[in-house]
Amino acid sequence: MNALSVVVLAVIALAGRIESVEITDCGSVDGKVTGATVDDCGVGDEYCTLKSGSTAGINIKFDSSVDTASAKVKLWAVIAGQTIEFPFSQSDACKDWGVHCPVAKASHQEFKLKMPVETSYPKVKLHIRVGLEDANGKLLICQEIPAEIK
């Protein structure tokens, strides 16, 4: 085995041990998340860094298990064990964030949220819960993301 092969195998072995941010489900009812990413967040990060004064991008791919006429964005911040609903004026996921409505049962969707990180936000570590609520008020999906505002 040549030296290059040894290096490539070592990198592959180490890559499997490097942890990345753990994005977890936080109560999806009417949908199944098939993938979730946060811009500028990846392998080796314990928290996704959200830069004050910037825009954070969150993409969530999911399959719906119900038909619904609408999808509404829901946001929460979990800080020191307290859950605070986050006001968000552009809550129509169908109009603003890439979800195709009406959402059909078994359809594959991609929710592409862009969220401002205001300079007035405190510089803290927190968990962000991002959800989509269907027309009946049930969560289609919900994902929890560990983040740090810097």
Structural domain includes residue 75: yes
Residue 25 belongs to domain spanning: 20-149
Domain membership of residue 108 (yes or no) is yes
The answer to whether position 114 is within a domain reads: yes
Beta bridge partners of 145: 128
Counting beta carbons within 10 angstroms of the beta carbon of residue 85, is it exposed (0 to 12), middle (13 to 18) or buried (19 or more)?
exposed
Please tell me the total count of domains within the chain.
Answer: 1
Residue 3 lies in a domain: no
Three-state secondary structure string covering 68-87: ECCEEEEEEEEECCEEEECC
CATH number of the domain enclosing 73: 2.60.40.770
User: Is 1 part of any domain?
Assistant: no
Q: What is the pTM of this model?
A: 0.83
What do you get for the CA distance between the two ends of the chain, in Å?
46
Band (pLDDT 50/70/90 cuts) for residue 1 is very low
Q: Specify the DSSP element, H or E, that contains 141.
A: strand 139-149
Q: Could you read off the pLDDT of 37-61 as tens digits, one per residue?
A: 999 897 788 999 999 999 999 999 9
